[in-house]
Structure 1
Amino acid sequence: MGGNVVKPECVTVLGDKNVRSGGTVTLRCEANTEYVTATWEKDGSKLLYVEGKHKVKPLGKTFTLEISNADETDEGKYTLTLSNDKGSASCSAFIRVEMKKWREVRWQSQAEMLNNIKTFNICNEVEELHFLLYGPVGAGKSSTINTIKSIFEGRLFVNCQAAAGSTTSHTLSFESFRLEDEEGSFPFAFYDVMGAEAEAKAGVNTQDIISALKGHMKEGYKFNSNGPLSEKDGSFYNRNPSLGDQMHCLVNVIAADKISLMNNEFIKKWKTIRETATSMGIPQVVFMTRADCECKITKENLQNIYKSKKIRDKIIQCSNLLGVPVNLVFPVVNYHQETDVNTDINCLMLDAFKNIVFWANDYVKKCSNKQNSHQQPKIE
């Protein structure tokens, strides 16, 4: 090498790559000198080469890593380090593997899905199905309501004040939002509550969520973090709630990019609420918002959402953390920067919405059948 040895530099750097499952992807970097030792790492550890899958091709000043028959285990951050006696240089790239679809969404069927929901006949034991949204401040509860109303009305709806990532809830009282369009209204009501906060005595009181689930809370009640609703609050406390007063589905709203930040205090609050909902038989689901913020291939094309390993991993993480089955966790995207309605956003939300409508209606029918069986006289 002699006097030709110079400190390594990356003349061209590795670039992020997307590859379909089963495909081949190549990372390439050009150095300023041939006299270097090249090492490859994946996610901070030395890359374990697999025969028939990895090919390393140093050719002059060009260093190449080829990965064939890509699968989900190949997704990650790859780093090339070039070194010699004069020093070292590194560059990195992220390989995203587009998996085979692991859920289906009818992306081209917005009108059909919406019509099926609009014409759905709910159990005649109640006038409307009630959905209670619960989750941390800024997770997207109010934005979820805005998005669903936007789908029904065919235009952006923004009257439900959203916290937009704030640490303070914009929802201060118990409010309901109903769905309608130019043809009329539909028997679905969404109830928005103050957001939960990390501190034990901050945000919405856990007992208030339980009161709302059971139908004790009347609309207009102003939330108080220092104390829950009680029978003393005569004008807002319903002493004898009917099936039509209570909630028929609990929708937990969690931001995909905030799951790992959820602390034990929130988990404790959530488990208390979940125990009550479970004892009542109320169906519980998770709407995992901000899915587009957590995954690049999803952000580039929302129809990739069920091909994304990162989204699938987030769903599994959410399921493990909250104790909700994977098939009850729905990644969704709310309207937040758009100025007009978007078909893909609508179809993804409608896919989740149709399920909670069915499950809430099943719950009402089950409760109604129990009530009717108890009223029947015993046969001697």
Structure 2
Amino acid sequence: MMLLKCYSFMLTYVTFSLAYFSKPWRNVTENYRRDLDFVKSYQPRNKDVKHLQILLHGPVGSGKSSFINSVETVLKGRVTGRVLTDANSGSSFTEKYTAYKIQKDPGSFYSVIFNDIMGFEQNTKAGVDVEDVKLAMRGHVPDGYKFNPEVRFQKTDKDYKSSPTLEDRVHVLVCVIPAASVSRISEELMKKLREVRLAATEMGIPQLAILTKVDEACPEAKNYINETYRIKSLKEQVDQFSMLLGIPVNCIFLVKNYHSETNTNDDINVLILSALKQMICFGEDFLNNL
């Protein structure tokens, strides 16, 4: 019996060693409270804007809407679900271009706005059109616009913003991809993601990526979410996505959105907050460099 227990322990140790780095390849817990205070107190220094505009884009079902809910959960300290999601939809559940403010108190909002957009699909006649995403980045698409995959948004459209202000424009572009899907991204989808990235680069818009659903991609992350940045398989997904899309590794973040939880969890919050803080820092740099 003693020998069996010893063997079991050794097997567990070897499995752990193979699956994990000896230390995190990115430390996201060290300044958690300070980072939370930074996010909550952030205000753009550029007086031409009141809110930092962050656009989330990516394939259908990647977790864009859930990420917005998760950010709101972190800032409010309770699980929220204001942005509607659908786990069973095979097509984009988000049909309208929607700007989400997060309420700080009854009389004010946080200085970050998340813009949710229809997801990309494999079918060229379904999902958001790349050209519509480009117009959104330039500030031409109004809040509430309902996308039509078969008809692009045009200058002649009555809702078209012909003279967008800096406040209307996107200040940070974030690509959202499920961690388990990185190795299965089709050539057609990657072409769309690359085209959006290149357009954002021409506009000078900083870009980041978040790999969501890490708990679904890796059983180790599901059981030990606090070890996410030590898990080798997740680091491999980050490296692979960096090579595919060209986004540097230090601009790619691992995230678990709130999904089945009814209470907040500091380990989940840390991952979300790490990504959010960098979005704000990149956006602030963009506004100050104009």
Q: TM-score, normalised by structure 1?
A: 0.70
Partner of 1:284: 207
Amino acid at match of 2:264: V
* Secondary structure at 1:164 match in 2: coil
**Partner Cα distance (1:18, 1:248) in 2:** 46
Of 156, 174, 187, 1:251 maps to: 174
Partner of 1:147: 70
Q: 1:125 to 1:209 in 2, by over 3 A?
A: same
Partner of 2:142: 218
Structure-to-structure mapping, 1:183-332, within 5 angstroms: 184-234=108-158, 236-332=159-255
Check conservation: 1:152, 1:180, Cα contact below 8 A. no
Partner of 2:82: 159
Decide which structure has greater strand share: 1
Percent identity between matched residues is 35
Cα root mean square deviation, aligned: 2.1
**Partner Cα distance (1:176, 1:16) in 2:** 52
* Secondary structure at 1:265 match in 2: helix
Moved over 6 A (4+): 13-16
Instruction: Report how many aligned residue pairs link the two structures.
Output: 282
**Partner Cα distance (1:15, 1:231) in 2:** 66
Q: 1:297 to 1:17 in 2, by over 3 A?
A: farther
Partner of 1:120: 42
Q: Deviations over 1:189-224 (max 9, x none)?
A: 000011100112210111110000000000111100
Amino acid at match of 1:114: L
Q: TM-score, normalised by structure 2?
A: 0.91
Check conservation: 2:43, 2:51, Cα contact below 8 A. no
**Partner Cα distance (1:170, 1:118) in 2:** 29
Q: Compute the displacement of 1:153 (Å).
A: 1.6
Q: Compute the displacement of 1:260 (Å).
A: 1.6
Q: Compute the displacement of 1:164 (Å).
A: 2.3
* Runs of 5+ unmatched residues, structure 2: 1-6
Of 249, 269, 272, 1:349 maps to: 272
Q: 1:14 to 1:294 in 2, by over 3 A?
A: farther
Q: Compute the displacement of 1:297 (Å).
A: 2.1
**Partner Cα distance (1:180, 1:16) in 2:** 51
Q: Compute the displacement of 1:97 (Å).
A: 3.5
Partner of 1:137: 60
Q: Compute the displacement of 1:15 (Å).
A: 10
Q: Which has the larger radius of gyration?
A: 1
The structure, 1 or 2, with the larger RCO (C-alpha pairs under 8 Å, 6+ apart) is: 2
